[in-house]
Amino acid sequence: MESIISLLLVHIQVLNNQIKYLLFFIAKNIPLKSKSYDCYSPKYNKLKVDKMPIINAPVKKKNFKLLIDEFFNANGKVLKPVKHHGNNPVPSSIVCPCCDAPHQYIYDNTGGRGQFLCKVCNTHFNKNNYASLHFDFSCPYCGKPLSTKKERKHFLVHRCRNSKCSFYLDNLRSLSSQDFIEYQSNPERFKLHYLYREFKLDFFKVDLYSLPKGASSLAFRKFSPHIMGLCLTYLVNCGLSTRKTRDVMYEVHGVKISHTQIANFATTAAYIVKPFVDSFDYKPTNYLAADETYTKVKGVKHYVWFIMDAIKKSILGYRASDSRDVSPCILAMRMAFDKFKQFPGKALKFIADGFPAYLLARQQFALNGKDFDVTQVIGLTNDDPVSKEYRWLKQIIERLNRTFKFSYKITNRLWFWRRFFYSSCFVCCLLQLFKTTSLQLLETT
């Protein structure tokens, strides 16, 4: 008995020495306090959304034939086409954006560098952006017109190129000496000029509630509705996977059914219940929380967006997408705002994280007559008054995400066996380590 106690004491001392070594290694190589990032640095301007630009109504188009007739009545002579000279003739595809005059009446105003002049209406326009004259955007800080910088899938990026703009100069002065040197060598890493994103897709005309034809069917060929009810009870209420539900149905009820058929039952039930869930009168409050989370479907990462009532704990809007951009965010917010009989406007408390898609979505709703404020709770600690006041709303939506991912992962058997394999390997490694340490202690004693 005394030998066993002495052996255990020696083993405890060896483990204590190993723990001290690991603590020393962590204290030396892994900083216990992470570096505090300055979220107000100009490097993080790409995560911010600038305010709305000055939107000017488009100029009404003129008819070049009527203008030619007016010129003849006023001067008594016909307006002749332009005689193009030089090596840069005007392409036949170029037409005047103001009066639709063909290329025969257009001058090459800069010798092939892209600017043209219409002889009929005296309009100057550029080759790159002459066709996009639906709206005229101007910088809200200097009043200069914005130019198109980039073209994305769903939007155009307009930029203020004025080097004397107050917005640009203020951001330039806020750079530190080290950031200024980096800005001169790599200006693409900083966002100093004013930017505005013009969306090409009208998200407010997208149908949110339609289902594809033949999406669901209750034509039971082999199994009765009672079998479907049992499968959904085990699958949904008990939180079992489709394969576990298959095993329970055979062992308890003697029904031999495949896990694919159980998944089809769940899909059919979801399609049938969806219209009732979407059209239910939730009577939402003015406290909404929004967040997005990722999940994997057949190994591919997808995103799920939730908009929920933080007081009544009801999900008002949802969307699944394969990209983390502003498009599914707007559609999820549309679904949530449709539950209001009268939109609360500025009285709405909309809580989200620091993802800029929510600010971009707010701009689009403001253009459509629904103006509200987005409160962003950033970080994990209450370092500012906004986080202290609205942290509880953010925690509610985060808890919803954890519950969703926990209930979703059990439906993937591959994930379960991978986790079981990893945990089994970890236990085997611990047993092997304990066995090796015990043999060494026995040899030393």
Residue 242 within any structural domain of the chain: yes
Residue 358 is part of a domain; what is its CATH number? 3.30.420.10
Strand 300-309 with 314-321, pairing: antiparallel
In angstroms, rounded to a whole number, what is the distance separating the alpha carbons of residues 13 and 56?
78
**pLDDT value for 423:** 38
Spatial CA neighbour of 210 closest among 136, 275, 124 = 275
Query: 336 with 395, same domain?
Result: yes
Higher pLDDT, residue 270 or 216: 270
Going by pLDDT thresholds of 50, 70 and 90, the confidence category of residue 126 is: confident
Residue bearing tokens 């489709």: 242
Both structure tokens of 116:
């043209």
Q: Specify whether 347 is located in the same domain as 294.
A: yes
pLDDT band at 445 (very low <50, low <70, confident <90, very high): very low
Band (pLDDT 50/70/90 cuts) for residue 211 is low
CA separation for the pair 372, 337 (Å, rounded): 11
Does the structure show a pLDDT above 60 at 415? no
The secondary structure element, H or E, covering residue 151 is strand 147-151
pLDDT digits (tens, 9 = 90+) for 305-352: 999 999 999 999 999 888 888 889 999 999 999 999 999 999 999 999
Percent of the chain with pLDDT over 90: 21
Compute the distance between CA of residue 293 and CA of residue 373 in angstroms, rounded to an integer: 22
Q: Is residue 244 part of a domain?
A: yes
pLDDT for position 135? 61
Kindly report the number of other CB atoms within 10 A of residue 117's CB atom.
Answer: 17
Calculate mean pLDDT across residues 397-417: 67
Going through 47-146 in order, the beta strands assigned E by DSSP cover: 54-56, 106-108, 115-118, 124-126, 136-138
For the CA atoms of the chain, what is the radius of gyration?
Answer: 33
> Domain count of the chain?
5
Residues 313-349, buried b or exposed e (16+ Cβ, 10 A)? eebbbbbebeebbbbbbbbbbbbbbebbeeebeeebb
* Local confidence band at 190 (pLDDT 50, 70, 90 cut-offs): confident
Is 206 within a domain?
no
**Per-residue model confidence (pLDDT) at position 322:** 87
Mean pLDDT of 52-71: 79
Average pLDDT over residues 409-417: 46
Instruction: Tell me the per-residue pLDDT of 127-139, one tens digit each, with 9 for 90 and over.
Output: 655 544 456 788 9
The residue range of the domain holding 231 is 225-278
User: Residue 119's pLDDT is what?
Assistant: 86
Mean pLDDT of 189-193: 87
Are 77 and 99 found together in one domain? yes
Reply yes or no on whether the pLDDT at 431 is more than 80. Answer: no
List the beta bridge partners of residue 148.
158
**Judgement on whether residues 295 and 329 belong to the same structural domain of the protein:** yes
Do residues 273 and 387 share a domain?
no
**Amino acid identity, residue 377?**
V
**Same domain for 296 and 431?**
no
pLDDT at residue 420 is higher than 50: no
Above 80 in pLDDT, residue 384?
yes
- On whether both 51 and 192 belong to a single domain, the answer is yes
Strands (E), 310-348: 314-321
Asked if residue 19 belongs to a domain, the reply is no
Local confidence band at 83 (pLDDT 50, 70, 90 cut-offs)? confident
In this predicted structure, what is the pLDDT of residue 90? 82
Q: Do residue 300 and residue 377 come from a single domain?
A: yes
Q: Does residue 341 sit within a domain? A: yes
Q: Is residue 213 part of a domain?
A: no
| Tokens 């502003």 -> residue | 326
The pLDDT of 101-123, averaged and rounded, is 82
Q: Quick one: 307 and 392 in the same domain? A: yes
Does 50 lie in the same domain as 170?
Answer: yes
Tell which of 77, 98, 126 closes a domain: 126
Which residues on adjacent β-strands are paired with residue 302?
Answer: 295
Same domain? 437 vs 378 = no
**Mean pLDDT comparison of 240-244, 273-277, 358-362, highest-scoring range:** 358-362
- Is the Cβ–Cβ distance between 426 and 251 less than 8 Å? no
Indicate whether 211 belongs to any domain.
no
57's CB contacts (< 8 A; 6+ apart) are 135, 136
Angle (CA) 408-261-235 rounded to 5° is 35
Q: What is the average pLDDT value for the chain, to the nearest integer?
A: 80
Bridge partner residues of 300 (DSSP): 297
State the pLDDT confidence band at 218, using cuts at 50, 70 and 90.
low
Q: pLDDT per residue over 130-182, tens digit each? A: 544 456 788 999 988 888 888 887 788 899 989 999 999 998 888 888 888 88
Are 321 and 271 in a shared domain? no
The residue ranking higher by pLDDT, 213 or 387, is 387
Q: Per-residue pLDDT averaged across 183-208, rounded?
A: 85
Q: Is residue 254 part of a domain?
A: yes
Helix 242-252 / helix 259-278 crossing angle, nearest 10 deg: 110
pLDDT tens per residue, range 277-297: 888 899 999 999 999 998 887
> Is residue 1 very low, low, confident or very high in pLDDT (cuts 50, 70, 90)?
low
Question: Taking residues 18-45, what's their average pLDDT?
Answer: 66
pLDDT above 80 for 194: yes
- Mean pLDDT in residue range 407-430: 44
Residue 158 near residue 195 (C-beta atoms within 8 A): yes
d(CA 191, CA 84): 42
